Amino acid sequence: MSSLGDSVKLPCGLVFPNRLAKAAMAELLAGSGNAPTPSLLKVYDQWAKGNWGAVLTGNVQVDVNHLGSPFDPALSDEYTDPETNKGLLDTWSKYAEASQQHGTPSIVQVCHPGRQSLRFAGRRGIFASPIAPSAIPLDMGDGFFQRWMSWFVFPPPREMTQADIDLVTRQFVDTARLMADAGFSGIELHGAHGYLIDQFLNPKSNIRTDAYGGNAANRARFVLDIIRQTRAVVPPTFCIGIKLNSADYNSSSFEDTMTQIGLLNEAGIDFLEVSGGTYEDPKMWDPNHSQPQKPKSTTTATREAFFLEFASAVRTRYPSLILMLTGGFRTRAGANYALSQNACDVIGIGRPAAIDPAFADRLLDEGLGEDEAKLNLGRVKMPAWMGWIPLRAVGAGWESSYYTQQIQRIAKGLRTIVPV
């Protein structure tokens, strides 16, 4: 059995010195310029000291016109080469240096929100439509209020043309080139949580009848083109991973998802992160949502991993694929259990890292007993008035924003506050 302190070597040759990765979380520290700021660098300096096997950044958007939040870091201009875009490269190189100055590999989570771009986020204008594989708006509920709020916050998208697809593909590739030139160790394509890549992969949001829709393989073409074109322009040692949503075992999409994972594996991804949830169905963030695929065992260790069964199924189909499992880990025992089941190679830690930047040190310290190698996180209390808003995503968003606030406290040098 692998231990948390064992190293992991990816197919590209990159080595994670241990099996604990600080997972991607929203920082909202890019400011109005949507570029890495000194505050953002301070946070990553703290995580870099935390003895993580890898540090994954929060979303870096490939197009400043389409943002998930108003303060996401994003490419403000087309990246051509280091000489032409020296200022842009210098800015991002400082981010890479802060994230990796203590020897921990840093992986940039690269994203396009697609139809999940807030009306007031990005520079496209508040009346301009976001883009998506198909012109299907977000479904936040059947009631009048839910439909109105969905329209107000997330404008109905327009279907992407071939020119749009070509442009966004190039933006993903350009972003990857910039991150490689800046000195980061790799990228992770965000293909989960309902963002654009996930929208292409999912038959509920992709009803195209051209080469990008109609079956599982066609729906994967968009991301496969991004991977193929990126591989051609980055060093062979540069990591390319991807985050995907887990599928419901009872759904008809399970085999389609496995087919798509097989295609990604053949394309040469270095790792697959298993996660879950979307704005429409916030499994990952909603504290009141019963966790999907809950293991039959009721021990604490087995309950920690939200998506353990799905990861185990992927392992059975694709045993050589490096898997990262994220969602729910709070204890050394829970992390060790997931490794003991051969369900994954890397444990992704999110919210505990927003409270304690050196949480990995706590889990790796063999001098600490099991009762100390953990972090108990209570439910974040919502204001009473929020209970009147009939949107499940509101509670999930409040929970998520609490941990973003803790990240911002780290940036200010303040003590974080554990929810109890």
pLDDT value at residue 153: 84
Beta strand pairing call for 15-16 and 8-9: antiparallel
CA distance 84 to 81: 5
Q: Which regions of 166-306 does DSSP assign to beta strands (E)? A: 186-191, 239-245, 271-275
Residue 194: C-alpha distances to residues 139, 197, 274, 276 (Å): 12, 8, 14, 9
Residues 303/294, Cβ–Cβ less than 8 Å:
yes
- Read off the DSSP letter of residue 374: B
pLDDT value at residue 152: 79
Tokens of 226: 């991004």
Question: What domains, with CATH codes, occur in the chain?
Answer: 8-411 (3.20.20.70)
pLDDT value at residue 297: 45
pLDDT value at residue 230: 98
pLDDT value at residue 90: 96
> Which residues, listed in sequence order, are joined to residue 20 by a DSSP beta bridge?
347
- From first to last of its 420 residues, the chain has per-residue pLDDT tens of 789 999 999 999 999 999 999 999 999 999 989 999 999 999 999 999 999 999 999 999 999 999 999 999 999 888 999 999 999 999 999 999 999 999 999 999 999 999 999 998 889 998 899 999 999 998 877 777 777 777 778 899 999 999 999 999 999 999 999 999 999 999 999 999 999 999 999 999 999 999 999 999 999 999 999 999 999 999 999 999 999 988 755 567 899 999 999 999 999 999 999 987 655 555 544 444 433 334 434 455 555 667 888 999 999 999 999 999 998 899 999 999 999 999 999 999 999 999 999 999 999 999 999 999 999 999 888 776 556 565 555 555 778 899 999 999 999 999 999 998
Residues 142/29, Cβ–Cβ less than 8 Å:
no
